[in-house]
Every structure is written in C-alpha cells, then in structure tokens.
Amino acid sequence: MKVSPTSSRESGQAAVEAALIIPMMVFMVLGIIQLGMMYQARLMTEYAAYRSARAGIVNHGSCVNMHYAALFAVLPTLGPTPLGNPGRVDTLDRAIQVYAEYAEEGMNSPRLFHIPGQLEKLRVEVLNPKRSQISGLFSTYGDAMKAQEIDYDDVRDDTIVAANLLTVRITYFYEMRIPFANWLIHGWFMGFDSLDKLRGLQFENQRLGGGASHQALEALGANKGKTSRQKNDYRLISGLALDQRKYIIPLSANYSMRMQSNMMQKHVSPCAVDE
C-alpha cells in the first residue's frame, strides 16, 4: 500500500509535536509532585516550630528537647533513614523506628547534618531571649540555683516578662527528591535574585564557564543571604547541588509561647542567637 506524501508529512509533524510536548508534560507532572511535597514540608516545618516551642516551655528551655520535638514533627518528609531503610511513618511502629535511627544520628552529631559540622538538616534557634541577654538576665533575675534559673512566673518588670516569652525558629533544610524537577526548580530558587544578570540572553541557551544555565544559577545563588550565617548556608547549599547533586531548600518558621517551667541557662544557651 502506497503512503501519500500528505500522510507522511502529517506523521512527521505529529512526531515533532510529540517530541516538543512530552518533555514539557513530564516536567509539569514531576514539578507538581515536587511542589506538593515541598508544601507538605513547609506545613511540617510550621508544625515543628510549634512542637519545638511547646517542648521548650515545659522543659526549662532545653535545646535538646526542642530539637527532638522538631525532628519528630518533620519525620514524614525526611525520606530514607541514615541506615538506608525506608522513611515510611504510616504506622506508630514505623514512626518510632525512623525516629530512633535519625535520633541516634543526632546523638552522635549532636544534630542531623547534610555536611557534618557545617549544615544541619534541622536547625533550632531561640530568638527570644537573645544570646546577648542571657548572661544579664540570669545574673539579674536568677534568684535560685546560683543565678542559673529564672522563674517562669516572675513579673517584677517588663524585661523579665518579655524574656519568659520563648520564641523559637526552626530551619528545615529540606532535600528535594523528585528527579528532573529537583535540579530545575532548585536552580530557579537559587538564581531568582540574579536573573537580571541574564537579561538580553536566551535563558535556555545560557552557558557560563562551560556549564548549563541551571548550574550558572546555582553558582549565582551561592551569594544569597543577608547575615553571615545565611551566606554560609547558601554557599554550602550551592556546593551540594553542584558537587553532589543534592538539592536543598531552606524552610523556616517561628513560634512563640509563654514559659511554663523555669528557664535554665545551661539548657537554653546553646541555641540562643542574636538575630
């Protein structure tokens, strides 16, 4: 049977259209899945901030207890455990097992790390009271235990009332795990503030230093951040993406609660910051 020239042209056109559309459709599906998982991680980060603050107010401002409370909150989003076991937490027994493996890594570290000693998977910071206030607060209001403890119900002035409002910030360095969508979305996230530097150039064809456009954006994102700690975080995040193909998004949430136990200096000092 002889194929007409018209049918041959239509078949070729359909193949070209499919070649253009299918990759876009695949990215849209994978991107939707990845963005959905990121939204879940964002919600879990907010819940972790609440759980962490709750653990702090009833445990004398203990950084250790706040950290493990936050860890348990984000378990559904952590993925495979440090021992390589599945990260499923759909039953209580599974949740306890996954928590135990991550907590054991935390006990050895004493935090969970992407880069040991530099970038945590989960960071707990006390914003109030500030680190610079700690020594003065306890020496002035620490009537018990040799100025190592302040009463949670002390209302003698505004300073101590404000200090007993524990404010916790959780930063969850969430690892994106959906292939293709992870590096593409992450490149946009890292390079968003620097896109004006590519003005006048074809974004999809942009090459800097022999790398692809998303690699150029990752490198530009290494300069993000306002504080010295944020700048260091983004530098490490960029390095993980370029060198190890681990794509990390920092998610942050704050929560404040009034102390319900006496704050102890040795417990709260390790994670207090001045921001």
The rounded distance, in Å, linking the Cα atoms of 74 and 37 is: 12
SS3 55: helix
Does 1 score more than 80 pLDDT? Answer: no
Sign (positive or negative) of CA dihedral 259, 262, 265, 266: negative
In DSSP terms, 253 is beta-bridged to 170
In DSSP terms, 249 is beta-bridged to 174
pLDDT digit string, tens, across residues 182-199: 988 998 899 887 766 666
Quick one: pLDDT at residue 110? 47
Quick one: pLDDT at residue 92? 85
Quick one: pLDDT at residue 130? 94
| pTM of the complete model | 0.84
Residues 51, 73 contacting (CB under 8 angstroms): yes
pLDDT digit string, tens, across residues 202-219: 555 555 555 567 777 888
The rounded distance, in Å, linking the Cα atoms of 63 and 78 is: 21
Residues 133, 163 contacting (CB under 8 angstroms): yes
In DSSP terms, 248 is beta-bridged to 175
**DSSP letter (8 states) at residue 241:** I
Quick one: pLDDT at residue 133? 93
Distance of CA 103 to CAs 67, 85, 148, 190, Å?
A: 10, 14, 28, 30
Peptide bond into 5 cis (omega under 30): no
pLDDT digit string, tens, across residues 104-137: 665 455 456 677 667 888 999 999 999 999 999 9
Average per-residue pLDDT for the chain:
84
Residues 171, 71 contacting (CB under 8 angstroms): no
Better pLDDT: 256 or 9: 256
**Under the phi-then-psi rule, with left for phi > 0, alpha for psi from -120 to 50, and beta for the rest, what region is 210?**
left
Does 5 score more than 60 pLDDT? Answer: no
The rounded distance, in Å, linking the Cα atoms of 126 and 88 is: 30
pLDDT digit string, tens, across residues 6-33: 555 556 667 767 777 777 788 888 889 9
